Structure 1
Amino acid sequence: MDRIRENSTVKEIAEKFPVTRKIFDTYGIMCGGDSLPDKPISFFARMHNINPSTLIEDLQNLIDGKEVENDEVSLIKPQTEHIYEFFIKTSIIIVLSTGCLYGAVMLAYMAYKRSFLSVPWVLLETHGDTQVYGWVGLFIMGLSFFALPKFWNTILYSTQLAYKSFFLMVIGILLSFVFKTISYYSGGLFLKIPVFVGLSLQTASIAIFMYVLCRTYFSSEKRDYEVYEGFILSSFLWFLLQAFVFTALHFHYCIVGNTEIPAYFKDPIRHIQIVGFSCLVIIGIFTKTLPIFLGIQIPNRKNSAYVLYLLNLSIALRVFSEFYKGYTQNLHGFFIAISFISGLLEALGIFLFIYNLNLFDKKKLVQNKVKLPTGFRKYIRAALFWLFVSESAFLTFTLYETFAGEKVSHALFGAYRHAIFVGFISMMIIGCASKMIPLSKGVKLYSPKLLNVTFFLIILGCVFRVVTQPVSFHLNPQFYFLLGLSGFIEYAAIFLFSINIWKTLKSTQEEIAEQINSATASTNVYQLIRQYPQTLDILIGYGFKQLKNPVLRNTLARTISLGQAVQIVSVNLEDLLRDLNASMK
């Protein structure tokens, strides 16, 4: 009997044993095409993050006529399924230490001193950096490595590079945080070099992250452009751009010039981090997933494209105008006008995004929507509410600064930033993680009660912070007490969320599913296939080709019902249910 070896090529194996195409197609090695790669099988196994021995064993069993009893078990799940856990767990560790706790302590000190200037700027800056790179950045990177390959019906291009991007980012965050603080107090020039190294590592991490995702996209069968991809790509480009620019500025000003980076550079860069990266990537992901998870119609494609163009243009104009307003007094009126236009465009883009989700139009709700846990729904709705509030405030500030000729106070602008960063961005992260992580692992959320308590605390903390920061500064200093308390309330919320997610990630016991007697709109796709394997061919026949891949069948299918699936592939739900129920008899 012919034996397959690691140096055997895909071409010679598939030509000699055509039945093996089934295995190659399952792993995505042939991507459904007719061309046969003339490369060793070991090469493709490594490229697709597959255990070569297991792949060879599956091929050999097929050639020898042995039946693969359970392809979901026999076909090894790539290691990429677990990469996202490293990112998410580390983002939790960072937000519980140098992120939220660090910020809560500084806020309490400012409340005690009744002055927002009582804490050195470097401490606030390092806190903000770890929140952006450590909390939001690592979480988004992990979520992207997990979700985007599934959106594109493929496997992550390189596990090894994904791990490298992780370690580079973590080391970069630590170097930047520690040595930026020490160099500020010591004044030693040599201590600014590790900061430069840390910033460079963060930039390299983002570049590798983007490279892996680009190679993943182009290795898939997907070729039709979707608007959500434009949001995600532009957000990653903004993320890379600001990291590169800030690294170059640190080298020029802090090392060569032995001075500090001017505020007219820092403010536009922070705007890119919050709106250009964090908001755009969340808008992109939820443009894709919210219709499925919330049972709403897919947002109007043309309106989504307008949102994409409006937000990117507004970010570019904002960065351009804010820099020149601070850098030079020449053409000051012109740059004021550009800043005004950028504010209007951003507000228009955000309001159009919220309107386009169709959340508040009952006529546009999908008829056969699935009842989802209310915890997830209320997080999303609350996050969108905070996005509306923060953007309304930003529009008001833009109008005031344009016509009054002076900037709003630090207290007001800080309240706006907190509303968008915690109220929208962090709320979306918590809601997303609380739904996607349990579904991806096939387990229950550790504690729905903790999720409800987390929601109450983060809403309470955010309200206290956003309201009392301007009130205590402008109206009544007695509110500084509530301001100082708000940080610890939000920390308690993040702490409870972290326990919930950490326990869920460690869980190995699958959620017990009820016996399915008939297929309905609310039937989970994964459980249907698991209990009635014959339904797989029917689903594939209706166009759900992603289910051919056992990895996607074991992950993506867990997250959706039949009612949600027909929103991904436009088919008649009644016909699908009729054929599925007929096959189950």
Structure 2
Amino acid sequence: MKAAIHSHDQPGKARLRPQEPFARIAPLLKAALLLGVCGGFALATVLTITQSLPTMLGSWWVALVQAHGHLQLYGWSGLFVVGVSFHFLPRLRGTPIALPHLLPWFLGFLMSGLVLRALSQPLIALIDHPLWRVLLVVTGILEAGALLGFMAIFFRMSRNGPPFASRPAFVSIFPLLVLAFSALGLAGVSNLYNVIQASMGAGIVPTGGDELNITLGLLGFLLPVAFAMSARALPMYAGLSGFPPRTLRLLTVSYALGLFLLCLSFFQIPWQPALNALGMCCIGGTILMFIGVFLRLMLTRGQLPQHIKKLATEPTTVAQSYKTRVSDEGKAYGPFVALVASSYLWAMLGGILLLADGLSVLISGSVLVDIDIIRHSLTIGFISLLISGIAPRMLPGFSGKHIASASLVRATLWLGNIAALLRVGVLLLSPLASMVYPPTRTISELLFALSGPIGLIFATCLLINIWPTLR
């Protein structure tokens, strides 16, 4: 039976409406998994293998790199995060999701746009035909409609429902969510501008526009939602103490300031390098503080949270029951907590490297580490592993169905971390290794080439494991 709650579609006018069932959101998650396995991770396999071959790579390869990154950000990761958010957040807000009848349309727009982008952008570089240029612009229109639509759903939902004062859990993460969904809408607009620019040239998005769109998608949308969901959902599903509200507010302000400075640095304005450096320092430092708090909370798992211990009439009995629950969850859902913990370690690495790059720019005027390494630490390392950790635990609760196997959770733990290590670790350490022992360059290229196929196997295992919860 659906839970009935009061919502306010218009100010001052309330009516009884039910929460939307999980079936309304499941298509978004299915699409994200399919776009990841058949699109983003498959293209990553092609790219890592071809980059390691002794062949000349033309402009089609650069176009494919951009299409792959865009597909991973807004298809695999972005769509999955939107889907989980649109089931969890309405319940946290105490109101049904807004405009549910438009969700299939927005999903169709985004899927069509992403698939056409992956086809048309490289084809412009290979076969210069007007059709591909027109299709590339169409992809921008479709994606802008979808991303602006998702933003509108969030803000409409936030406006509805009971007074904010009665929903403190939602209010605590609301600023992070406003930041995230505003960035998502801006990403749709910036992407439209980017594809128009690319369609008038060789199919390559100008560097500045591409950098801004990646920043909006990764640092603007994915990371804030990941932190917000971790702060509210992780304590609930992993049996942890809550994230300190005051700390969360301070870190949100710090993160928003860093994002603003970083985005501002992509425009031709005075003090551009300094703004870029300060933005990286601010975001990198904030990520480290976020992760530090999360890891400290996770170290207490297995111990009864203090707020429950204070309310319990028989703390010893409740503590034993809590330990039994933790043990049972491990058997049913596999090492999902280890996956989440490992994802935080990759986020910590990304934060350290961002901070190091920012300081290096301030001191010497140049970056210390290639930004591509940092991005993959935060995408394949943090976001992908976080998704593969929370999905086997949260989705069965959403749908009332079971994952295929707890053993597949263990497989994704190993495969995901190996893929991230080969993708990020090899690029980070290979220059030093080549200086010490030159033959390691060939070994590094081979290991890097393996990161794509292993990432594809990782994503396939995740799809197989959680697909039963989506049927």
Q: What TM-score, normalized to structure 2?
A: 0.84
Q: Does 1:191 align with 2:155?
A: no
Per the alignment, residue 342 of structure 1 pairs with 279
Give 1:100's aligned amino acid: F
Larger RCO, structure (CA 8 Å, separation 6 or more): 2
Displacement, 1:450?
1.1
SS in 2 for 1:94: helix
Deviations 1:7-43 (A, max 9, x none): xxxxxxxxxxxxxxxx9x9633577xxx987xxxxxx
Displacement, 1:504?
3.3
> Would the alpha carbon gap of residues 472 and 215 (structure 1) be closer, same or farther in structure 2, given more than 3 Å must change?
same
Per the alignment, residue 450 of structure 2 pairs with 485
Displacement, 1:337?
2.1
> Would the alpha carbon gap of residues 447 and 188 (structure 1) be closer, same or farther in structure 2, given more than 3 Å must change?
same
Per the alignment, residue 250 of structure 1 pairs with 195
Deviations 1:326-357 (A, max 9, x none): xx7xx4xx322222221221122112212333
Displacement, 1:399?
2.2
**Residue 186 of structure 2, aligned match among 241, 245, 255:** 241
Give 2:441's aligned amino acid: P
SS in 2 for 1:359: helix
CA contact 2:281–2:356 (8 Å) conserved in 1: no
> Would the alpha carbon gap of residues 298 and 165 (structure 1) be closer, same or farther in structure 2, given more than 3 Å must change?
same
Inter-partner Cα distance in structure 2 for 1:203 and 1:443: 34
Inter-partner Cα distance in structure 1 for 2:40 and 2:202: 28
**Residue 396 of structure 2, aligned match among 429, 438, 455:** 438
Displacement, 1:447?
0.1
Give 2:27's aligned amino acid: F
1:49-88 equivalences under 5 Å are 80-88=21-29
Range with greater deviation from structure 2 (180-189 or 94-103): 180-189
> Would the alpha carbon gap of residues 105 and 290 (structure 1) be closer, same or farther in structure 2, given more than 3 Å must change?
same
Deviations 1:167-196 (A, max 9, x none): 111112122222222222223345322212
Give 2:87's aligned amino acid: F
Give 1:242's aligned amino acid: A
Inter-partner Cα distance in structure 2 for 1:346 and 1:317: 10
> Would the alpha carbon gap of residues 26 and 177 (structure 1) be closer, same or farther in structure 2, given more than 3 Å must change?
closer
Inter-partner Cα distance in structure 2 for 1:383 and 1:116: 33
Deviations 1:49-77 (A, max 9, x none): x7xxxxxxxxxxxxxxxxxxxxxxxxxxx
**Residue 54 of structure 2, aligned match among 99, 107, 113:** 113
Inter-partner Cα distance in structure 2 for 1:206 and 1:118: 28
> Would the alpha carbon gap of residues 259 and 487 (structure 1) be closer, same or farther in structure 2, given more than 3 Å must change?
closer
Per the alignment, residue 74 of structure 1 pairs with none
Give 2:92's aligned amino acid: F
Displacement, 1:117?
8.2
Q: Does 1:136 align with 2:96?
A: no
**Residue 456 of structure 1, aligned match among 402, 411, 414:** 414
Deviations 1:531-561 (A, max 9, x none): xxxxxxxxxxxxxxxxxxxxxxxxxxxxxxx
1:394-409 equivalences under 5 Å are 394-408=354-368
**Residue 390 of structure 1, aligned match among 328, 346, 350:** 350
CA contact 1:110–1:117 (8 Å) conserved in 2: no
Point out the structure with max Rg over C-alpha.
1
Per the alignment, residue 359 of structure 1 pairs with 297
CA contact 2:418–2:454 (8 Å) conserved in 1: yes
**Residue 4 of structure 2, aligned match among 2, 24, 27:** 27
Range with greater deviation from structure 2 (353-362 or 135-144): 353-362
Displacement, 1:237?
0.6
Per the alignment, residue 378 of structure 2 pairs with 420
Per the alignment, residue 155 of structure 1 pairs with 96
Give 1:383's aligned amino acid: S
Deviations 1:478-510 (A, max 9, x none): 21111111221121111111101113333xxxx
SS in 1 for 2:164: coil
Displacement, 1:376?
1.8
Give 1:335's aligned amino acid: Q
CA contact 2:5–2:95 (8 Å) conserved in 1: yes
Inter-partner Cα distance in structure 1 for 2:7 and 2:181: 29
Structure 1 stretches of 5 or more lacking a match? 1-22, 38-43, 51-77, 507-585
Inter-partner Cα distance in structure 1 for 2:201 and 2:158: 42
Give 1:494's aligned amino acid: A
Per the alignment, residue 206 of structure 2 pairs with 262
Displacement, 1:421?
0.4
Per the alignment, residue 405 of structure 2 pairs with 447
SS in 1 for 2:140: helix
Q: Does 1:178 align with 2:142?
A: no
> Would the alpha carbon gap of residues 194 and 468 (structure 1) be closer, same or farther in structure 2, given more than 3 Å must change?
same
Inter-partner Cα distance in structure 2 for 1:118 and 1:168: 27
Q: Does 1:165 align with 2:141?
A: no
Per the alignment, residue 223 of structure 1 pairs with 164
Inter-partner Cα distance in structure 1 for 2:222 and 2:144: 16
SS in 2 for 1:164: helix
Give 1:105's aligned amino acid: V
Identity %: 19
Inter-partner Cα distance in structure 1 for 2:227 and 2:85: 13
> Would the alpha carbon gap of residues 454 and 105 (structure 1) be closer, same or farther in structure 2, given more than 3 Å must change?
same
Deviations 1:115-146 (A, max 9, x none): 99897210100001110111012111211221
Per the alignment, residue 380 of structure 1 pairs with 340
Per the alignment, residue 315 of structure 2 pairs with none
Per the alignment, residue 216 of structure 2 pairs with 272
Structure 2 stretches of 5 or more lacking a match? 310-318, 435-439
Q: Let me know the Cα RMSD of the aligned residues.
A: 2.8
CA contact 2:282–2:355 (8 Å) conserved in 1: no
Inter-partner Cα distance in structure 2 for 1:269 and 1:166: 20
> Would the alpha carbon gap of residues 303 and 375 (structure 1) be closer, same or farther in structure 2, given more than 3 Å must change?
same
Give 2:343's aligned amino acid: A
Number of aligned positions between the proteins: 434
Q: Does 1:308 align with 2:252?
A: yes
Give 1:241's aligned amino acid: L
CA contact 1:265–1:323 (8 Å) conserved in 2: no
Q: What TM-score, normalized to structure 1?
A: 0.69
CA contact 2:177–2:225 (8 Å) conserved in 1: yes
SS in 1 for 2:53: helix
Give 1:397's aligned amino acid: D
Deviations 1:190-239 (A, max 9, x none): 53222122111111112222222333233311413623121122111101
Per the alignment, residue 313 of structure 2 pairs with none
